[in-house]
Every structure is written in C-alpha cells, then in structure tokens.
Structure 1
Amino acid sequence: MDGARMHAQLVSSHVRKDEKKGATDNGPEKDERINVDEPLWDQESYIGRWKHFAFITDCRTIFYNEERLCEAKKLCEDYKAGKEPTGTTKKDVIWAKKLRDSAFHPDNGQLTNVIGRMSFQLPGCLFLTAGMLAYYKYARRIYYNFNYTPSSGQVRKERISAVRTARGIVGWQVINQGFNAIVNYSNRNARDEDQTDENGIATAFLVATAAGSVAALTFRKMMSYRGDLMKRWTPFVAVAAANMVNLPIMRQNEIKHGIEVGPKESEKSIMKSKLAALKGISECVVTRIVMAAPGMMLVPVIVNILKPYCFYQMRPRLEVPLQTALCGLFLSFMIPTALAIYPQRNSMHVWMMKLCDEEYDKYQELTGGTPNRVYYNKGL
C-alpha cells in the first residue's frame, strides 16, 4: 500500500498546488470556470500530460460506488450547464471531474468495469507483477521422485515438478492476460459501438490468453540456462510479447473498420483510417511495455544485489514483501509516466496515408489535402 499512498499524495499535492496558486501554467484562472470536458493541464507538454494521467489514475477512486460516481458525473454536467448547486466550490468540481474521468468511458459515457479502469492499474499490476516475480524465482527448480519396483528390480526416476511449474506459469499468464483483456476492452476507442461483437470479444480473449501462455513458456525455456537474473526477467519478456498480441486482438474492430480522424481544432470527423488505428494501438503497446519494464526488470536486479548480505540471507521471508513494496513504488510513478508518452489525442501526418492508397485518395477527395495533419483518439 506504500505505492498507493505515494501515488495519492503525488496527485493531491498537484491539486493543492493549483488551488493555492489560483492558476497554474496551464490550468484555469482563479475566477475562471473550469472546462470539465478538457484536461486541467496542457496536453501539448509531457509534464501537463503526466499531471493529467496522475490525476485520473488515482487509485482512491476505485473505492467509490456507482451511486457516488453517477452523482459526480451529474455535478460535472450541471456545472457545465451553469446549474450547479449553491455553495459548490472549485475543489468539489475538480474532485467530481476526477471521479467521472476515472470511471466513465470518454467516448460513450458508460461506466466501465472497475477492473478495466486505469485507476485500477496500480493494485492490479502490483498483484500480478509481484506474483509473477515471486513465482518465476522457482520456475526452474526441478525435483525427482524415485520409485523402486521389486518385481523388476529397477529404480524409476520420475520428474515431478516440471508439469506443476508449467501449470503455474500458464495459470499466471491466464490471470495476467485476462486482466489485460478487460483493461484493453474498457479503454478501446468506442465511438462506433455498432462494431462491437460479443462473440468476437470472447474469441479475442481466448486467443490472446493462449498467445500469452505460449510466449511465457517459450521464453522461459530460452532463458532457463542463462543465469538466475535472466530467469527472473522471463516475466517481463513474456508480458511484453503477450501485450503485442493481446492489444491488437482485443481491438481488432478498430483495425478492421478504422477510427475517426479529424482536424486539431474540431472533434468533427473527416473519415475513418485504419492506419491511424494501427498507429494508436502500437502506441498503446509501447506504453504498456514501458509501464511494466522498471518493476519487472529492476526489482530482480535489486534482489540480486541484496542476496550476498547476511541480513537478507537470514530473513528469506522478507523477499516477497520487499518485492511487493518495490513494485508498488515503481508502478506508482511509472503508470502516469508511461501513459504520458503520447498525447491522448495524437496526430498523424497525411503522408502516412500513402501507405494505403485507398485511404489517401479518399482523404484527398474529401479535403483536397488540407490539413496536412489529422488527429485521432488512440485509446489507452
């Protein structure tokens, strides 16, 4: 919980700082009304995006029930219409915006599953990362059972732990990819709900889970004899490979039908682009890998550094709590850090459409080639 507390303190400090100053470099003036439909910070800068994602991924918001979340959404709508209750303060509106932005999908306004919210990333990823790191430590320990048969006088040696190890790895990957599937679906580009196919979603989940399990077992075998540290990096390699499969499969409708692209100054759509969908999904894959990298790669290094010390060797039970605490610290910082790499509404130069002649010709026909850059919602 140290990571969760640190994350909450970081977000709260930013909000208090803005309220004391009355206006940040990118926030609203003291007497200016807040635009509840836009981020509080400038999304053109990395720092502004970091503050925004730290704001909406605050894990404290997952403890609010549906009734409270709906009240927050209604307050934002009333405030936008200038009909907020008397006595409503700026702090009330900011907190209501935090609850709404963290729980409701920005495209269709529907309440998302609590497990699929970005505000659940810290506890969810903390459980998965710590669990996989702790389990994979023992992934190559193999034991044998010797059975003596009196009639034949032979001793038969049975390998008894290999199957259990494989089952454990597959089990963790099933949990991990199931979690990722929920997150990926909850944070898709949902402007075209008519494309949603429940059978397709179920199929995508099964394929992604199978792919993640195969990747985990394959990389485990490749790295099993390359030293203890390399074995401890197996979860990261497996998670990275699985994310490359999971995200595109779960968001395959976007690739098949394209996502809306439009000019910077307007939400109005010009056309749908499959290239923009591929670019947006690729950016999300990079984000997820960067998010997982420090916790899954640096924690094993730190543990290996501590191994020679007597204090650590005499207290083996400290390993799991230590790994969990370190994962929490890394994740509390890396979740907004990774999400802020790309703007939520990112852009693509028109020349990229030349990779697909049909899209490029359609864009030229609709716009005459201007503007030369189009914008799209990449999802999370």
Structure 2
Amino acid sequence: MKRKGDFGDKADESRIDVDKPLWSQDTYLGRWMHYNFITDCRTILVPKNKLWEAKKLCEDYKARKEPEGLQRKDIIYAKKLRDSAFHPDNGEFMHVIGRMSFQLPASVALTTAMLTFYKSAFSVITCQLVNQGFNAFVNYTNRNAMSDDPQDTNIIQQAFILATAASCAAALGFRKLFAGRGTLFARFVPFYAVAVGNMINLPIMRQREITRGIPIFTKNGEEVYIMKTQVAAVKGISECILTRIIMAAPGMLMVPVITQRMQSYRFYKLRPWITVPVEIGLCILCLLVMIPSALAIFPQKNSMKPELLKIYPEEYKIFREKMGQRKHPDKVYYNKGL
C-alpha cells in the first residue's frame, strides 16, 4: 500500500539540480560529457532574449514555480543555454566572443589563418594580434569572478594591452629563432607562439586572482568557505594554461604534417587550392574532440592538499588559525575557472 508521500518522493527524484552538472565531475568521462554539453557551438546562434528566458526558467524551476507540464528535456535544454551563456560564479551574461561555446568557430578560423599565413612577419603579427586579443578576452570572461572588484576597469584594460603585446612579441621571437630550419618546422612556429602566448596571456589577464587569492573551501555535502589563497590561484591558472595548450596541440601540430605530406601527391599538385579546405576540415575535427577533452582534464572545482599552502608559509599559518582545533581536511577545493 502506497503512502501519501510516495508520489511526491518519486517526483523529487526525477527533478534535476540545475545548479550542478548533469554528470558526475569525479570522473573524466563525466567531465567530458559536461563540457561537451556546455560548449555546443549551436548555442551561440540562440537570441539573447531566449538565453534570458532560459535563465529565468531555471530560476523558476529551482523555486518550483515552473510552468505546468514542463518536460525534463525542456529544463535540460534551458540549463544548457544558461550554463553556456552566464558566468557560473556571478551569473553575469557573457559576451558571445568570450564564451567557451564560441571556441570552435573562433579557433578554427584563427588556427587556419595561422597555419596558412605564416611566411611574412606582417602576417604573423596580424594573426597573433587577433589570436592573443581573442585569448585575452576569453581568459577574462572565464576568470574566477570571486576575486572581482568594481574598481578593476583600468587594471583590466592595462592587462589586455600588456598580454596582447607580450604574446605578439613571443610569436615574432619564435619566428626569428626557427627561421631557415625547413618549411615543416616553420609551420610549427604558430603552435610554439600560441603555447608561450598562453603562458603569458592567461596569468596577466587573471593577475588579480594571483595578487588577491581565490577562495578555498571544504566540501562535505555543503561547501564551507575557509579563506582566500594565492597558492590555489597559481595552481588553478597553471592548470588552465596546460588545458589551453593541449587543446591547441593536435590541430596545430598534426594538420601541417598532413598537408605537407599531401604536397607529394599528383592530385594535390593539380589542385593546390585544396589545402585550405582540408586544413579547415581537419581543424574542425580536431577541435570538436579536443575542446571538451582538454577542458575535462581537471575538474572546474579542483582540489589540493592543505599542505601545499606551506609554499607560502603566511597563508598556511592563516589556514591553521581558521581551522582552529578542528581536524584539518584531507583536501581543500577551489574554482580554477576555465
């Protein structure tokens, strides 16, 4: 015999938590599914008013005020639109160019341009200027927003200019360093420039996180704030740098090799124009796989052992004071951004 609350309990079980990923973030596959879900480039075509409607539907759903007859697939799609367009820390509406869902079309265009126009200094400067300007915008958009301050406008503008200039200088330096070492090797220069550019660009654009620290917390069912730490900020930004380099590597290293091999075939010699379409197709294929694959390497809310704070003794001292007589957790958690 069913009790009165049985149907309500089942209804609760079927509801999703719109503030959490649909898949477990403790496994690589779960993270891959999550990032594949929120980086779907089709969401960039959705009008702004529809994105705001999706956000409101998610808020209504949380408050159990959703429209009658709302289907599960509808709330999942609304969550997809909200997660792709609004910052997870502060709910800020993100410009379409800075969203991770814009990575595929933008990266395909930029990667193809860098692999095609690599011979002249002017082309290198132009491509890297656009690429690093785009990266700086993406890095700022996907920062850990918990370190934001309303007075940061001038700092952001200065960081944008410095990051872009430093990255372009790195590109030119690599071009000069590897000049005269063969056509194939020369075509790898854009990847080295992008890798070094990310090492420069990302820390500069997110310097406020390093100087102010980012929050760390314990996680035992609920998140409990402990303190802000620079150690976690450096670790999180380092993970993001590695992610971006791995994301770019297959397309920028494999595509030149494949197109170089194509040049020995008679079919290519009769149709040299085919190089660009082939490069575009290969870049799309690589990035479709690598965007979620690279982002899934580290959980967005990653962890570290509290002992790592000993790198900065003053922070470890504050940590011990904050914990007091309580047992120190095995791990503390932080939001690394994307």
TM-score (norm 2): 0.94
Match of 2:145 among 190, 197, 212: 190
Equivalence for 2:155: 200
1:268 aligns with 2:224: yes
Percent identity over the alignment is 57
- Aligned residue pairs total 326
Matches within 5 A, 1:26-45: 32-45=14-27
Match of 1:376 among 316, 319, 334: 334
1:356 aligns with 2:312: yes
Return the offset for 1:268: 2.8
1:239 aligns with 2:197: no
Q: Distance in 2 between matches of 1:262 and 1:195?
A: 24
Contact 1:105/1:112 (CA < 8 Å) preserved in 2?
Answer: yes
Amino acid at match of 2:86: F
Check 1:196–1:181 CA distance in 2 against 1; reply closer, same or farther (3 A cut): farther
What is the DSSP-based 3-state SS (H/G/I as helix, E as strand, rest coil) of the residue aligned with 2:94? coil
Q: Distance in 2 between matches of 1:196 and 1:250?
A: 15
Q: Distance in 1 between matches of 2:151 and 2:329?
A: 31
What is the DSSP-based 3-state SS (H/G/I as helix, E as strand, rest coil) of the residue aligned with 1:233? helix
Larger radius of gyration: 1
Equivalence for 2:94: 112
Query: Once the two structures are superposed, what CA deviation does each residue of 1:92-143 show, in whole Å capped at 9, x if it has no partner?
Result: 000000000000000110100100000000001011001110111xx1xxxx
* Cα RMSD for the two superposed structures: 1.4
What is the DSSP-based 3-state SS (H/G/I as helix, E as strand, rest coil) of the residue aligned with 2:303? strand
Return the offset for 1:29: 10
Matches within 5 A, 1:287-298: 287-298=243-254
Query: Once the two structures are superposed, what CA deviation does each residue of 1:160-181 show, in whole Å capped at 9, x if it has no partner?
Result: xxxxx22221111110011001
Q: Distance in 2 between matches of 1:114 and 1:87?
A: 31
Contact 1:116/1:183 (CA < 8 Å) preserved in 2?
Answer: yes
1:258 aligns with 2:216: no
Equivalence for 1:313: 269
Q: Distance in 1 between matches of 2:319 and 2:148?
A: 24
1:63 aligns with 2:45: yes
Return the offset for 1:198: 1.2
Check 1:250–1:31 CA distance in 2 against 1; reply closer, same or farther (3 A cut): same
Equivalence for 1:326: 282
Q: Which structure 2 segments of 5+ residues have no match?
A: 1-9
Q: Distance in 2 between matches of 1:77 and 1:250?
A: 31
**Could you tell which deviates more after superposition, 193-202 or 101-110?**
193-202
Return the offset for 1:267: 2.7
TM-score (norm 1): 0.84
Contact 1:195/1:253 (CA < 8 Å) preserved in 2?
Answer: no
Return the offset for 1:197: 1.0
Q: Which structure 1 segments of 5+ residues have no match?
A: 1-27, 140-164
Q: Distance in 2 between matches of 1:128 and 1:225?
A: 24
Match of 2:79 among 77, 94, 97: 97
Query: Once the two structures are superposed, what CA deviation does each residue of 1:280-324 show, in whole Å capped at 9, x if it has no partner?
Result: 000000000000000000000111111110001110110111101
Return the offset for 1:195: 6.1
Match of 2:293 among 337, 348, 357: 337
Q: Distance in 2 between matches of 1:181 and 1:289?
A: 15
Give every structure 1 segment of 4 or more consecutive aligned residues whose post-TM-superposition deviation is greater than 3 Å: 28-31
Q: Distance in 1 between matches of 2:270 and 2:167?
A: 36
Amino acid at match of 1:217: L
Contact 2:147/2:213 (CA < 8 Å) preserved in 1?
Answer: no
Match of 1:224 among 159, 179, 182: 179
Q: Distance in 2 between matches of 1:85 and 1:29?
A: 15
Q: Distance in 2 between matches of 1:78 and 1:232?
A: 52
Q: Distance in 2 between matches of 1:203 and 1:187?
A: 18
Amino acid at match of 2:294: A
Contact 1:350/1:374 (CA < 8 Å) preserved in 2?
Answer: yes
1:86 aligns with 2:68: yes
Equivalence for 1:179: 134
Q: Distance in 1 between matches of 2:11 and 2:183?
A: 55
Return the offset for 1:346: 0.1
Equivalence for 2:5: none
Equivalence for 1:249: 204
Return the offset for 1:373: 1.3
